[in-house]
Structure 1
């Protein structure tokens, strides 16, 4: 159980932080950057959820929980030592990726195919979902870069890749099932 009764600890004042396995690293390390960007994604999702209702609101809540799982996964390096850990480390699973894929397929089933790229906008919720999409893409890039340096759970990277697709399709749903999408007009102002 997690208990947070003291918010500041002063242990990071020298520019270091502790990972999930207790190892201290620089706050600018790629691992901290990756899971920090996942946290940023989660904050953007929280903002979008304020506009969402019904199934969309529920799905965004599930995604926020998944993003905490993902942050916990990324903050614990050395997957090989998971078996020796005092508590079983939390890892993103292929089942979470498959759930996103199923949700994308369900949302996309009734949308008309796009014949142009869309501009991030339309409704307020669609614009916020596009922000979620772009921040999650950045989290994916950071995680992919981290994976070139250290071990990263492959399911975590897949999850981030599918998540940005989920946000894109959800933005179309939020734009009256794509009818209110704002289409890009190449060279319109040239």
Structure 2
């Protein structure tokens, strides 16, 4: 149970913050970037759920994902340690399996993709395309943390690495969000297709400046 009695603490005023194992590190640490981007992705998904007019089953899937993302962030901020006193939240393979099953299920609802598509159509679709890009950034940030800290469990004298399942989860989630963005546009006839430059012969005229 989380019990926050005060939001500001002043403990970060010197540019450091606490990780999940209570060790302190710089606010520019690559691990912080990874879970900050993950938190941002969660917020963008929240906007899609709140304002996107999405179907009930999509909302249910996205709400589950939002809960997962809190755990992904908790995992990223807690170095891998041998025999921790308090076992931390860790991403599980089952969560990734769920995402892959969701991808397979929702993909049956849309036509095969024969063109790149533009973010747009419905508000829900646009927000989900936005969420896709933020999750992809979170995955890149998590990979940067993996490259810096590795994926090994540390003893009490070392700095633990990153759970490799975090990057896998974020990768599959970006795929799912892209598919859901397409599903969200079914109500308006489907995807907004990209028209390459050579095919955009009839460009809108620019209005004259006053």
Q: Bin the TM-score by the shorter chain.
A: over 0.9
What is the alpha-carbon distance in structure 1 between the residues aligned to residue 116 and residue 169 of structure 2? 23
Q: 1:80: which partner in 2?
A: 81
Q: 2:64: which partner in 1?
A: 62
Q: Residue 109 of structure 1: CA displacement? A: 1.3
Q: 2:168: which partner in 1?
A: 158
Is it true that 1:106 corresponds to 2:108 in the alignment? no
Unaligned runs of 5+ in 1: none
Q: 1:125: which partner in 2?
A: 124
Number of residue pairs matched by the alignment:
187
Task: Note the alpha carbon deviations across 1:149-173, whole angstroms, 9 max, x for none.
Answer: 1122111100000000001000010
Q: 2:143: which partner in 1?
A: 144
TM-score (norm 1): 0.94
Instruction: Name the SS for the 1:138 alignment partner.
Output: helix
Within-5 A mapping of 1:6-25 = 6-25=6-25
Query: Which deviates more from structure 2 when the two are superposed, residues 149-158 or residues 38-47?
Result: 149-158
Instruction: Name the SS for the 2:186 alignment partner.
Output: coil
Unaligned runs of 5+ in 2: 150-160, 202-210
What is the alpha-carbon distance in structure 2 between the residues aligned to residue 39 and residue 114 of structure 1? 30
Q: Residue 87 of structure 1: CA displacement? A: 1.6
Task: Note the alpha carbon deviations across 1:55-89, whole angstroms, 9 max, x for none.
Answer: 11111110100000000000001x132x2x22211
Q: Residue 54 of structure 1: CA displacement? A: 0.7
Instruction: Name the SS for the 1:37 alignment partner.
Output: helix
What is the alpha-carbon distance in structure 1 between the residues aligned to residue 89 and residue 188 of structure 2? 36
Moved over 4 A (4+): none
Q: Residue 112 of structure 1: CA displacement? A: 1.0
Within-5 A mapping of 1:24-39 = 24-39=24-39
How much is the aligned-residue C-alpha RMSD, in angstroms?
1.4
| Contact 2:75 2:91 survives alignment (8 Å) | yes
